[in-house]
């Protein structure tokens, strides 16, 4: 039986993929499988993956004919996964040797639906430790309770899908799938759904997952219209919270988070192509109109002056007629 399925999407990360693949080799075990999803790479990544499929124990190469983005690539891996446990890894990140064996052993000992892990952020030669905003470590708790309080950073704000391990029963319940075609912020509605609907989780202090920042092909570094998918992602977060049995408690957190992320993007308009910056303002104003207005007022009152001013200016912006093109 396959104990662990690791889903690793790759798209044009040739300078980094060798590190990722070497770390998978250092984590190989006879009951582990590594599902390498080539999302239609064009830079030579594919050749590295073809070689890895022959040389890395447990590696299986899955190919996309058309680039679908990270969410769709992860779903392709989920469709093929056979493991009792599921993990995700990005194609430009890497792991210390034995990471997955330790992670599986500690998760099995806890017996919970999923665990979240700390990680090391690699930015050039710099290394910084980033912790899950939840404590204590190694104690099984209620994922729903970890969403709140609304005014603090919590586990749903630490949305990285790769920072954890997930039991197959979550996949069977449909909780591990991502929104197909979502190009950015795909982890946000995913982590909210997981915390709302799973039954148990824990946090582990492993520091053997290395997350690479500053990759040129990352959507956080690209200013085209794909980055605006964060609006659709947070619409999903708000809709899920509104439909929840604890909507009165969860919606304030969802609205605050939406406003904070929107303010962040408004503060970085120079990073967008001009037409996309205009679309961000137009679609952002529409998004604010969809939010519960009382909760929006409360969220803006709780923000710092600079960020709140950005969102308030956008809120006053006239909304384009329905059906008009934003770009």
* Mean model confidence pLDDT for the chain: 94
Helix, strand, coil distribution of the chain in percent, nearest 5: 45, 15, 40
Whether 114 has a pLDDT exceeding 90, the answer reads yes
Phi, psi of 212 (to 5 degrees): -90, 125
The stretch 223-230 carries a mean pLDDT of 86
Q: Phi/psi of residue 119, each to 5°?
A: -150, 170
Cα angle value 258/268/236 (rounded, 5°): 25
Q: Decide if pLDDT at 53 tops 70.
A: yes
**Whether pLDDT at 319 is above 90:** no
Digit-coded pLDDT (tens) for 56-108: 999 999 999 999 999 999 999 999 999 999 999 999 999 999 999 999 999 99
User: CATH class for domain 4-219?
Assistant: alpha beta
Domain boundaries, the chain: 4-219, 222-315
Q: Is 325 exposed, middle or buried (0-12, 13-18, 19+ CB in 10 A)?
A: exposed
CA 150 to centroid of chain Cα atoms: 20
Per-residue pLDDT, averaged over 131-136, amounts to: 94
The answer to whether residue 216 scores a pLDDT higher than 70 is no
């Amino acid at each position: 039986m396959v104990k662990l399925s690791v889903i690793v999407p790759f798209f044009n990360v040739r300078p980094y993929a060798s590190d990722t693949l070497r770390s998978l080799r250092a984590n190989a075990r006879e009951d582990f499988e590594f599902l390498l999803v080539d999302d239609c790479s064009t830079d030579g990544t594919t050749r590295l993956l073809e070689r890895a499929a022959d040389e890395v124990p447990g590696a299986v190469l899955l190919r996309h004919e058309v680039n679908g983005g990270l969410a769709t690539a992860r779903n392709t891996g989920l469709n093929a996964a056979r493991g009792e446990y599921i993990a995700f890894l990005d194609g430009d990140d890497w792991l210390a040797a034995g990471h997955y064996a330790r992670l599986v052993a500690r998760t099995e000992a806890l017996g919970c639906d999923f665990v979240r892990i700390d990680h090391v952020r690699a930015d050039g030669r710099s290394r910084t430790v980033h912790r899950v905003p939840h404590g204590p470590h190694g104690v099984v708790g209620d994922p729903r309770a970890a969403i709140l309080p609304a005014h603090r950073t919590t586990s749903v704000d630490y949305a990285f899908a790769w920072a954890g391990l997930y039991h197959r029963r979550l996949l069977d319940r449909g909780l591990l799938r991502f929104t197909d075609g979502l190009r950015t912020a795909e982890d946000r509605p995913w982590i909210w759904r997981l915390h709302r609907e799973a039954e148990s989780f824990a946090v582990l202090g492993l520091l053997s997952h290395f997350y690479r920042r500053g990759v040129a092909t990352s959507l956080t570094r690209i200013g085209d219209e794909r980055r605006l998918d964060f609006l659709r992602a947070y619409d999903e977060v708000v809709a899920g919270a509104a439909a929840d049995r604890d909507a009165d408690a969860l919606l304030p957190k969802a609205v605050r988070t939406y406003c904070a992320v929107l303010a962040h993007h408004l503060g970085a308009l120079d990073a967008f192509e001009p037409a996309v910056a205009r679309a961000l303002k137009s679609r952002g104003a529409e998004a604010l109109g969809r939010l519960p207005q009382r909760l929006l007022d409360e969220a803006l009152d709780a923000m710092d002056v600079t960020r709140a001013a950005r969102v308030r200016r956008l809120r006053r912006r006239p909304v384009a007629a329905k059906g008009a093109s934003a770009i």
